[in-house]
Structure 1
Amino acid sequence: MNQQSPRLRSRAGGRSARRSIRSKRDVTMLPGLKNTLPLCEVMDGAGVERIDAASMDILENVGVVFRDPIALEDWRRAGAKVTGERVHLDRGLVRDLIATIPAGFTYHARNPANNVALGGRQAVFVPMTGAPYIRDLEDTRRNPTLEDLAMFHKLSHMSPALHSTAHHIVEPYDHPISHRHLRITYSSMKHSDKMFMGMTTSPKNAEDVMEMCAILFGAEFMETHPVTTGNCNGNSPLVWDETMLGAMRAFCRRNQPVLCSPFVLGGANTPASVPATVAQLNAEALAALAYTQVIRRGAPAIYGHYLATVSMKSGAPMAGTPEISLMNFMIGQMARHYGIPWRTSNTLGGAKTFDAQAGYESATTLSAVMHAGANYIWHSAGWNEAGMHCSVAKFVVDAEQCAMAYRMAEGPKWDDFDAALAAVPDVGPGGHYLGHPHTQENFQTAYFMPDLFDNNSIEQWTAEGSREITTRALEHARNLLADYEEPKLDEATNEALLDYIARREREIPAMDALNQEH
């Protein structure tokens, strides 16, 4: 017999099949994830109660500073003890308020096919935001532009496992700071029909985002349908400021969810202890979550946080450490204890390039947040250098890692179990399954086949140019962008959004220009 071996036939056919798949790229967004993985709970019931009691003691006896006269008056009316800017919250009041936060809700996207549920075991992947630098398609670190932001929104749209375009994935330095929130929001709306985040850089900026959402979705629709997400960061330890609280009011009054996110640098603005850090963080989050219900009872809200531990050698924030994983497990338990959806950060890296350190840090965090049962999984693509830059190469690899985590979290699929088992007697001892009809029918879906990881022999890898992951990822990003098709906005809606932006840019001084003049 002069037949080509099944192994060689498989390799040649595999390359051809991959080319065929690429030519018919399916970028349909995966449905919101229903995470079936067992939850990793590192505390028993007594541990949860101990953290809760410690947090309530902090709220009652230490208090939380609210640097905002409106919030202080709101708390007085709600029955809290207010001394100067410090608010002492009775645990009964806190429990009464947080009990009205919905345990889950559905985000409504511009394209209804991209609506996603959040809460319980329902989760979403959201790319990173806030990078002041980019590592671009040439892997050059530089200041980003609005065009770069649009590129990331397009890549988000083309990545099936990403459920959102976030907002300012990178800072568009070619626009005045005072106008950026308008252009950033429009870019999210224009380049994708997935859900997106809303800027909370000031109360007025948050109100602009709400007005633009009202143009896109309708003000009445927003009263009963979450369409965007705001993030409000606390100033740990135990401070919430006027900027964040004003933005929180803008979102909550429109019934739009906010992430109530203490900004934790473990050992720097929290005690040098994992349980004590979680107790403080929990108190800070509960104070903000309770305030969302003072603003509007029943408004959706999300228990948030940003977690890093601080190197006692340099003072720099670290990613991927074991304590961060432990805190994620514990925070997940606390959020479930209160029945509130929760946010975490994903695929964080402190490396300066897309190297092995970045991969290890990101993989460690991704595994932990999946087993912690997080709902709003933010910073899921691109984050490196402690958030100082977003890497195009890392962005697309992270997005594929999220797709792999999604597949794992779906759990084993039993739908073809009997058919697959029937192949065993067909093949028998010593045979192989490559040519079996069941394998031929299911090979593309039975096992996840990464586009960006190279699993070929060293000889084939060398023959194809010895290309490492960064080179392959940047080529993949270019291919995605070449295939991108804009999901067009309704013409009248687009015109109304541009008119609103033009009017607000006339009304808002271009602060960058004023600063240069003075």
Structure 2
Amino acid sequence: MTETVMTRSRSGGRAARRAVRMAPKFDMLPGLEGKLPLCEVMDAGQVERIDAASMHILENVGVQFRDEIALADWRRVGAKVEGERVYLDRGLVRELIATIPSDFTYHARDPKKNVRLGGRHSVFVPMTGAPYLRDLDDVRRNPTLDDLAMFHKLSHMMPALHSSAHHIVEPYDHPISQRHLRITYSSMKHSDKMFMGMTTSPKNAEDVMEMCAILFGAEFMEEHPVTTGNCNGNSPLVWDETMLGAMRAFCKRNQPVLCSPFVLGGANTPASVAASVAQLNAEALSALAYTQVIRKGAPAIYGHYLSTVSMKSGAPMAGTPEISLMNFMIGQMARYYGVPWRTSNTLGGAKTFDAQAGYESATTLSAVIHAGANYIWHSAGWNEAGMHCSVAKFIVDAEQCAMAYRMAQGPNWNDFDEAVAAVSDVGPGGHYLGHPHTQANFQEAFFMPDMFDNNSIEQWMAEGSQEITERALKRARKLLAEYQEPVLDAAKDEELRAYIARREREIPAADELNQSF
């Protein structure tokens, strides 16, 4: 979708042409193919040292799989199982993870928005899971289904976001037990980009798979990834029945899952960057290996959620140097094993969209780009340690992702000779503003952010002295007013609605409507 807002002069000439040139574009950027050198903070010996430590943990400490089906699966493939603890031989782990695809393509409702993942191919995905939002008036409150739809619409319109995710915010006006159905439908209906699938229970994950089969076709899903599930581990070294059941629902249908240990550095991992990575690596490998026990060749993504814990308060922190270091190290480990990897992006612990939120988010964004992350999740809106999604921050974060996208592509050499020739044309003391090369290239040569104000202070004051939060909220309102819903096939829409209605009749909801508005 392309926004075209034309300001016509009486003749419709110069002003109209300029308006067309300067009109913002809503077309999704292709998946990012990074060209920058990767930041690798470990040498080959240190990578092997992390690998050896992780394999030692898997073989001698073991990982708890609190799920009878998983335990039976591990026994079937020859793992040592004692109670709920599984001891994984390094040879078995290497054999299993070798069948994970190193890259694959996500298929969106609009095929033009398919994106490749793995190697140097990356995608930006909005945040999910916020129990509160800061709304269009910057008021912190409980979200509703309409608020969720708003974020899915904004995701659809932000060029650098490649996904509408799933529950960006929790819709408190709908029963918890049935919520996954409405969340999935909102992701599908309000955007034609790829999306995520709920993994809050095995049955919920199966519902998501059935809805995807309605939208894309069950046979199509057998060969084509269309959604993503996230399975969080319980660090240290535990995978529970809920996550493992959801993992099976996705893997059996050949749909990718993020195998994500949840790291609170210093609390559920050692107070050491390198040792934390060794533990996280063992946890991720155990889950990645299990995806291949479920279905050999199923796509899977080395995941994690990273934070460090303040020893003053016990609260998770964002934007710290250790988080950046761990991202660099995990990127190296994922490439060592030849699997795609996920990270978290633009994380903020601030309570409002202030300078702290900006610094934290910018630090993380820079690190994940230079680390070469593939599935770049929580890329827009995250603040207050994930407790709320901010509309203002969502808009600015999405633009920051577009700026990072431009940087990650590296320098453009296509017009180098023509640009150098302009130096001869202009000569000493001249300027380039009227030169034909500048006129032809000024829009693409340098990124011009809409959310940053670079005018003089006099002009800024004359225009109302607007801070970035106010500018971003004004932009969000404008986008929502101009949103055009991507048409969903009527027959598929009807079938999805019928499925939701049937499942809502089947799922108890009596004790669920206990929201605190």
How many Å apart are 1:363 and its aligned residue? 0.1
Q: Do 1:344 and 1:378's aligned partners in 2 also have CA atoms closer than 8 Å?
A: yes
Q: 2:393 matched to 1:394?
A: yes
Aligned counterparts of 2:205 and 2:442: Cα–Cα separation in 1: 48
How many Å apart are 1:441 and its aligned residue? 1.1
Partner residue, 2:166: 167
How many Å apart are 1:24 and its aligned residue? 4.0
Partner residue, 1:41: 40
Provide Cα deviations, 1:5-34, integer angstroms capped at 9, x if missing partner: xxxxxxxxxxx7999269843200000000
Partner residue, 2:305: 306
Q: 2:125 matched to 1:126?
A: yes
Aligned counterparts of 1:436 and 1:465: Cα–Cα separation in 2: 34
Q: What one-letter code is carried by the residue in structure 2 that aligns with 1:496?
A: E
Partner residue, 1:13: none
Aligned counterparts of 1:18 and 1:160: Cα–Cα separation in 2: 22
Aligned counterparts of 1:23 and 1:415: Cα–Cα separation in 2: 22
Aligned counterparts of 1:55 and 1:204: Cα–Cα separation in 2: 32
After TM superposition, the structure 1 = structure 2 runs for residues 67-466 of structure 1, keeping only pairs within 5 Å, are 67-466=66-465
Aligned counterparts of 1:425 and 1:38: Cα–Cα separation in 2: 33
Provide Cα deviations, 1:264-292, integer angstroms capped at 9, x if missing partner: 00000000000000000000000000000
How many Å apart are 1:490 and its aligned residue? 0.3
How many Å apart are 1:422 and its aligned residue? 1.1
Aligned counterparts of 1:18 and 1:388: Cα–Cα separation in 2: 45
Provide Cα deviations, 1:183-216, integer angstroms capped at 9, x if missing partner: 0000000000000000000000000000000000
Q: Do 1:260 and 1:288's aligned partners in 2 also have CA atoms closer than 8 Å?
A: yes
Query: Compared with structure 1, are the counterparts of its residues 227 and 80 closer, same or farther at alpha carbon in structure 2 (3 Å cutoff)?
Result: same
**Unpaired segments of 5 or more residues in structure 1?**
1-15
Q: What one-letter code is carried by the residue in structure 1 that aligns with 2:371?
A: A
Aligned counterparts of 1:339 and 1:141: Cα–Cα separation in 2: 42
Provide Cα deviations, 1:408-460, integer angstroms capped at 9, x if missing partner: 01111111111111111111001110111111111111100001100000110
How many Å apart are 1:483 and its aligned residue? 1.0
Q: What one-letter code is carried by the residue in structure 1 that aligns with 2:300?
A: A
Aligned counterparts of 1:279 and 1:434: Cα–Cα separation in 2: 54
- SS of 1:160's partner is coil
How many Å apart are 1:326 and its aligned residue? 0.2
How many Å apart are 1:334 and its aligned residue? 0.2
Give the alignment's TM-score, normalised by structure 2.
Answer: 0.96
Aligned counterparts of 1:92 and 1:241: Cα–Cα separation in 2: 24
Aligned counterparts of 1:346 and 1:513: Cα–Cα separation in 2: 32
Provide Cα deviations, 1:303-336, integer angstroms capped at 9, x if missing partner: 0000000000000000000000000000000000
Partner residue, 2:53: 54
Q: Do 1:265 and 1:308's aligned partners in 2 also have CA atoms closer than 8 Å?
A: yes
- SS of 2:262's partner is strand
Partner residue, 1:10: none
Over aligned residues, Cα RMSD in angstroms? Answer: 1.3
Q: Do 1:118 and 1:341's aligned partners in 2 also have CA atoms closer than 8 Å?
A: yes
How many Å apart are 1:514 and its aligned residue? 7.8
Identity score, percent: 85
Q: Do 1:233 and 1:262's aligned partners in 2 also have CA atoms closer than 8 Å?
A: yes
Q: Which runs of 4+ in 1 moved over 6 A?
A: 16-19
Partner residue, 1:483: 482
- SS of 2:223's partner is coil
Q: Do 1:344 and 1:376's aligned partners in 2 also have CA atoms closer than 8 Å?
A: yes
Query: Compared with structure 1, are the counterparts of its residues 33 and 187 closer, same or farther at alpha carbon in structure 2 (3 Å cutoff)?
Result: same
Across the two proteins, how many residue pairs are aligned to each other?
Answer: 501
Aligned counterparts of 2:458 and 2:200: Cα–Cα separation in 1: 52
Query: Compared with structure 1, are the counterparts of its residues 424 and 19 closer, same or farther at alpha carbon in structure 2 (3 Å cutoff)?
Result: closer
Q: What one-letter code is carried by the residue in structure 1 that aligns with 2:362?
A: A
Aligned counterparts of 2:196 and 2:96: Cα–Cα separation in 1: 25
Partner residue, 1:473: 472
Provide Cα deviations, 1:37-65, integer angstroms capped at 9, x if missing partner: 11000000000000000000000000000
Partner residue, 2:11: none
- SS of 1:352's partner is coil
Aligned counterparts of 2:253 and 2:70: Cα–Cα separation in 1: 17
Aligned counterparts of 1:381 and 1:465: Cα–Cα separation in 2: 27
Q: What one-letter code is carried by the residue in structure 2 that aligns with 1:63?
A: G
Q: What one-letter code is carried by the residue in structure 1 that aligns with 2:401?
A: C
Provide Cα deviations, 1:222-245, integer angstroms capped at 9, x if missing partner: 000000000000000000000000
Q: What one-letter code is carried by the residue in structure 1 that aligns with 2:226?
A: V
Partner residue, 1:11: none
Q: Do 1:100 and 1:297's aligned partners in 2 also have CA atoms closer than 8 Å?
A: yes
Aligned counterparts of 1:26 and 1:34: Cα–Cα separation in 2: 20
Aligned counterparts of 1:367 and 1:23: Cα–Cα separation in 2: 28
- SS of 1:512's partner is coil
Query: Compared with structure 1, are the counterparts of its residues 21 and 354 closer, same or farther at alpha carbon in structure 2 (3 Å cutoff)?
Result: farther
Aligned counterparts of 2:369 and 2:462: Cα–Cα separation in 1: 37
Partner residue, 1:7: none
Q: 2:64 matched to 1:65?
A: yes
Q: Do 2:177 and 2:512's aligned partners in 1 also have CA atoms closer than 8 Å?
A: no
Aligned counterparts of 1:515 and 1:197: Cα–Cα separation in 2: 26
**Unpaired segments of 5 or more residues in structure 2?**
1-14
Query: Compared with structure 1, are the counterparts of its residues 254 and 448 closer, same or farther at alpha carbon in structure 2 (3 Å cutoff)?
Result: same
Query: Compared with structure 1, are the counterparts of its residues 422 and 511 closer, same or farther at alpha carbon in structure 2 (3 Å cutoff)?
Result: farther
Aligned counterparts of 1:301 and 1:240: Cα–Cα separation in 2: 16
Q: Do 2:173 and 2:513's aligned partners in 1 also have CA atoms closer than 8 Å?
A: no
Query: Compared with structure 1, are the counterparts of its residues 226 and 436 closer, same or farther at alpha carbon in structure 2 (3 Å cutoff)?
Result: same
- SS of 1:419's partner is helix
Give the alignment's TM-score, normalised by structure 1.
Answer: 0.95
Q: What one-letter code is carried by the residue in structure 1 that aligns with 2:301?
A: I
Q: Do 1:191 and 1:487's aligned partners in 2 also have CA atoms closer than 8 Å?
A: yes
Aligned counterparts of 2:391 and 2:513: Cα–Cα separation in 1: 33
- SS of 1:363's partner is helix
- SS of 1:105's partner is strand
